[in-house]
Amino acid sequence: MKTYRDLVNEAKQVIPEISVEELQAELARGTAPTVIDVRDPDENREGAIEGAIPISRGFLEFKIPDAFPDPETPLVLYCLSGLRSLLAAKALHDLGYRNVASLAGGVRRWKELRLPVVREEPLTPAQLERYSRHLMLAQVGEGGQRQLLRAKVLLIGAGGLGSPTAVYLAAAGVGTLGVIDGDVVDLSNLQRQILHTTPDVGRLKVESARDTIQTMNPDVTVVPYAERLTVDNIERIIKDYDIIVDGSDNFATRYLVNDAAYLLGKPNVHGAIFQFEGMVTVLAPGRGPCYRCLYPSPPPAGLVPS
Amino acid sequence: MQATETVKLILGKGEPLIGRLLTYDALGMRFREVRLRRDPRCPLCGETPVIHDLSLHAETGAACAVTPGHAENSPHAVPAKAG
């Protein structure tokens, strides 16, 4: 009669193992395969590798084809010690998945190397209801929604660009939204700055933003900065955020934000609008151009209004 | 669109607009995509960067236009890049 050791050895013949160090390096570079935690749900709740999708081994063959219809999808499976994940990976291999690896040593080895694990708070029943249209998308799911709730996004400007962005990010459940804007709401803003409403005229934009967002979605924490972004405050402000959304209204701020975001390694979702035209791009340090690559110098003063 | 891109970045899903500029003309209801490249002579993120901190922003007006190749060992002027 066979033992589990025989099954593990058979799995090792066809399933490559990846070390914790290799996986961590790939995750840091952004080139990692999709990570799947095949442990039981109660183990997963104790602490998991950030970004890992929990699909317990019991349901793996049933859930995988919907989650990842392409059998070439690069996947890494992990469990506590690296044994269950080998057997699980072999099962996927038998289904036709050709790009599956198993994490050698499992999350136990990950913790031995003092790498961080995230302890997931399960979504509350209200959240399961609120975000149900996200949860049913394969690209989001509960794990994705929790990523959104953990994310910290800084909105530069709560005006024409910042307003709709703030509204949608808050509705989607981005957990922390920093909003920086030194201005006060003016009646002429209300035609497009949908974050603000008639009773807000005369109030600080960041306070109006905070109140609107809190009412829309209490899961979101708004951090208001009622100040102009300057060289003296920018590094202190942006360092705690994951992503910067540039909706600023003048070129000096755009260059300042670009430089600071690049130097601190933060992706910058850059948008600009003028009358009936708009443009958007993502400036990702190390992965694409920065603002200066596109615009080495600003247009002559007066040609494009701030 | 900025919100959509932000969500995609958080989730690590889809193809974010890195290296691509999406332009939108509301009157004609047209979208255009422009490929963007890193400029190897960019003063911030190019091969020989001259900007290493934010000190140039301390001087009003000085920060916006930094000629690429500003350092002594690269005296060449660079023609303005089409936006």
Q: Which of A142, A254, A280, A304 should we substitute to test contact with B (largest number of B Cβ atoms within 10 Å)?
A: A280
Residue B69's pLDDT is: 43
Q: Which CATH architecture has domain A151-294?
A: 3-Layer(aba) Sandwich (3.40)
Q: Residue B34 corresponds to which tokens in the numbers above?
A: 């422009």
Residue B83's pLDDT is: 34
Q: What order of strands is seen across the sheet that includes strand A243-246?
A: A221-225, A176-180, A152-156, A243-246, A268-274, A277-283, B20-25, B30-35
- Residues 210-239 of chain A whose Cβ lies under 8 A from any Cβ of chain B: 230-231, 234-235
The domain spans of chain B are 1-37, 39-77
What whole-number distance in Å separates Cα of residue A5 and Cα of residue A108? Answer: 19
Contact A280 B65 (CB under 8 A): no
Name the band, by pLDDT with cuts 50, 70 and 90, for residue A173. Answer: very high
pLDDT at A272 over 60: yes
Q: Residue A234 corresponds to which tokens in the numbers above?
A: 């920018």
Q: Is B45 on the interface with A (CB under 8 A)?
A: yes
User: How many Cβ atoms are within 10 Å of A130's Cβ, its own excluded?
Assistant: 18
Residue B65's pLDDT is: 60
pLDDT digits (tens, 9 = 90+) for A61-120: 999 998 899 999 999 999 999 999 999 999 999 999 999 999 999 999 999 999 989 887
Q: Answer yes or no: pTM beyond 0.90.
A: no
pLDDT at A275 over 90: no
pLDDT at A57 over 80: yes
Contacts of A290 (CB under 8 A, 6+ apart): A258, A262, A283, B38, B42, B44, B45
pLDDT digits (tens, 9 = 90+) for B29-42: 999 999 999 999 99
Q: What is the 3-state secondary structure (H, E, C) of chain B?
A: CHHHHHHHHHHCCCCCCECEEEEEECCCCEEEEEECCCCCCCCCCCCCCCCCCCHHHHCCCCCCCCCCCCCCCCCCCCCCCCC
Residue B79's pLDDT is: 35
- Give the one of A247, A260, A290 whose C-beta lies nearest to B45's C-beta: A290
Name the band, by pLDDT with cuts 50, 70 and 90, for residue A214. Answer: very high
pLDDT digits (tens, 9 = 90+) for B56-70: 888 765 556 665 544
Helix (H) or strand (E) holding A64: helix A60-67
Q: Which chain B residue's Cα is nearest to A252?
A: B64
| Mean pLDDT value of segment A197-214 | 96
- Reported ipTM: the value is 0.74
pLDDT at B77 over 80: no
The domain spans of chain A are 4-112, 151-294
The CATH number, out of the four listed (3.40.50.1820, 3.40.190.10, 3.40.250.10, 1.10.150.120), of the domain defined by the range A4-112: 3.40.250.10
Q: Is B82 on the interface with A (CB under 8 A)?
A: no
Residue A185's pLDDT is: 95
pLDDT at A294 over 70: yes
Q: Is B27 on the interface with A (CB under 8 A)?
A: yes
